[in-house]
Amino acid sequence: MARYFDVHPDNPQPRSIQQIADIVRDGGLIAYPTDSCFALGCALGNAEGLERIRAIRHLDARHHFTLVCKDFSQLGHFVTVSNAMFRAVKASTPGSYTFILPATKEVPRRLAHPKKHTVGVRIPDHVVTQALLAELGEPLLSSTLLLPGDDEPLTAGWEIKERLDHLVEAVVDSGDCGMDPTTVIDLSGAEPEIARVGAGDPSRFQE
């Protein structure tokens, strides 16, 4: 049965954040809010957690998982950003964007796209997520909480607890966080490609 954490959206309780981080460190899978919608997350090196996310969402090997990072400097350890795109990416973070970029050697091989060797990264503009990332000291391996057969991501903590009670170790609820997923920008090629239009304005990456 999943533990349910009711976390204040503006002043997250330090004890709750520490307990959630401990669950992640111990190999747990959590459902947590971001600035676009809820996500499933686990520790970066949690191979079993990765497979559990795949199973919950029915994902194949080509799916781009996302490393949710605390800040731009942490993001830079895991991906390579070209000089041409550096300013645009930095100006868009934190925010509701996911960037697909070439992965560095810091990214476990199983997380990168099998052919392109790319990975998704983002820096959320969400107080609770930022507090959790600061406590963890490393990115969360994440994927949008969109269940098979659903047209839209889940947005209510109580419903997530009800539907995923025996599939995750914790549900983190801090109130409404919206239902639009991130805008996905693929920066792995010669020109930016808008892979998905979501909560973030894609115009700064379009000619």
Separation CA 37–CA 19 (nearest Å)? 22
pLDDT tens across the length of the chain (207 residues): 999 999 999 999 999 999 999 999 999 999 999 998 899 999 999 999 999 999 999 998 778 889 999 999 999 999 999 888 888 899 999 999 999 999 999 998 888 888 888 999 999 999 999 999 999 999 999 999 999 999 888 888 999 999 999 999 999 999 888 788 899 999 998 889 999 999 999 998 886
In this structure, the chain runs to a length of: 207
C-alpha to C-alpha distance for 90 and 204, rounded to whole angstroms: 12
Instruction: Tell which residue, 103, 101, 67, has the closest CA to residue 85.
Output: 101
Instruction: Count the domains in the chain.
Output: 1
What's the pTM value of the predicted model, to 2 decimals? 0.94
Query: What domain range includes position 102?
Result: 3-205
Inter-axis angle of helices 14-25 and 127-136, nearest 10: 60
* CATH number of the domain where residue 190 is located: 3.90.870.10
DSSP-assigned states of every residue in 129-159: HHHHHHHHSSPEEEEE---TT-SS----HHH
